[in-house]
Every structure is written in structure tokens, then in C-alpha cells.
Amino acid sequence: MPKISKAPIKTSKAPIKISKTYEPKFSEKYMCEKHKLYFKKKLSEWKTEIVKANNEALYNGSMDGNSASADIVDQASSYTDKTVEMKAINRQIKLITKIDQALTRIKDGTYGFCAETSEPIGLKRLMARPVAELSIVAQEKHEKDEKVYADD
């Protein structure tokens, strides 16, 4: 009598694919694989755009530093312009960090859920602010607490 192998049967899941026009639907299970893939793609594309824009500003834009002028007013204006550009780039760098954190949350399965309450953040909020970590209620409480401490 032949021996029957009791090896587990391998079931391979086909990778989830979404169309370029796909948007998460409220009728789908919240943070299903399609949702995660959509937000991963959205966040990755956003990061790429920011990095490209920052590189252009730093290497090809007015940040060249070769605009020496004898006129003190022109020098002051140029310095102010560069300061504003650097502040904008610094904000973009902070945003890249938030995007990276959101991508990590997608990997570990916590993306889309409030960091304070573990409740779903909601598709509408994530569509508007893909790096959101807090639900609207938790964000409002956080901002209210910030205001209270700022007033002290």
C-alpha cells in the first residue's frame, strides 16, 4: 500500500492589483489589501514628487548662492528668499518622515487606525491626509490640549 503524504497544501495568494483609477470604497472591508495597496502607492508617489521638487530647488533653483550683489537691499532680499525656500524644504523633509512612518504602519498593519484610540481613522480623512495618525476626534482633542498648554 502506498504511503500518503500529509504535507500541507500550499495555497498561494495572487498579488492584489488595483487599477490606476481605483479609489477605496466604503463598501469594501476597511483597510483591506486593496486599501493598503492604494495608500502605499499614493504615499510612495507623493514622496517621490516631494524629493524631486526639493532636489530641483536645491540644485537647479535660486539656491545656487552665486547671486552676489553690491546692493545691500538686493542681498537682503536674496537672503530672505533663500530663508523662505529653506523653511519650505525643511517642512517637506518633515513630511517625508511622516510619509515613511505611514508606509511603516502599512507594513505592520496599524495604518488607518488611530494611534491613541485604535479606532478607524476613516477613508475620507485618509484620502485628504494620508499621513494622518489620529482620528478626527483624537486630533481635535490633541489640538485643544496644545492650545491650552500654549495659553499657559
**What pLDDT score was predicted for residue 147?**
78
User: Is residue 41 scored above 80 in pLDDT?
Assistant: yes
User: Is residue 11 scored above 60 in pLDDT?
Assistant: no
Better-scored residue on pLDDT, 149 or 81: 81
pLDDT-derived band at 63, boundaries 50, 70, 90: very low
The closest of 136, 144, 96, 146 to 116, measured between CA atoms, is 136
Helical ranges in 3-152 per DSSP H = 33-59, 72-108, 123-128, 136-151
| CB-based contact 114:134 (threshold 8 Å) | yes
Domains and CATH numbers, the chain: 31-110 (1.20.120.910), 112-144 (no CATH)
The closest of 119, 106, 122, 116 to 143, measured between CA atoms, is 116
Better-scored residue on pLDDT, 82 or 136: 136
Better-scored residue on pLDDT, 121 or 55: 121
Measured in whole angstroms, the distance separating CA 59 from the mean position of its chain's CA atoms is 24
Neighbours of 14 (CB within 10 A): 5
Please count the CA atoms within 13 angstroms of the CA of 146 that sit on its side-chain side: 6
Better-scored residue on pLDDT, 62 or 146: 146
The residue type found at 104 is T
The string of pLDDT tens digits covering residues 85-101 is 888 888 999 999 999 99
Sign of CA pseudo-dihedral 44, 45, 48, 53? negative
Better-scored residue on pLDDT, 50 or 83: 50
| CB-based contact 120:112 (threshold 8 Å) | yes
**What pLDDT score was predicted for residue 101?**
97
d(CA 17, CA 38): 9
User: Is residue 104 scored above 90 in pLDDT?
Assistant: yes
d(CA 135, CA 140): 9
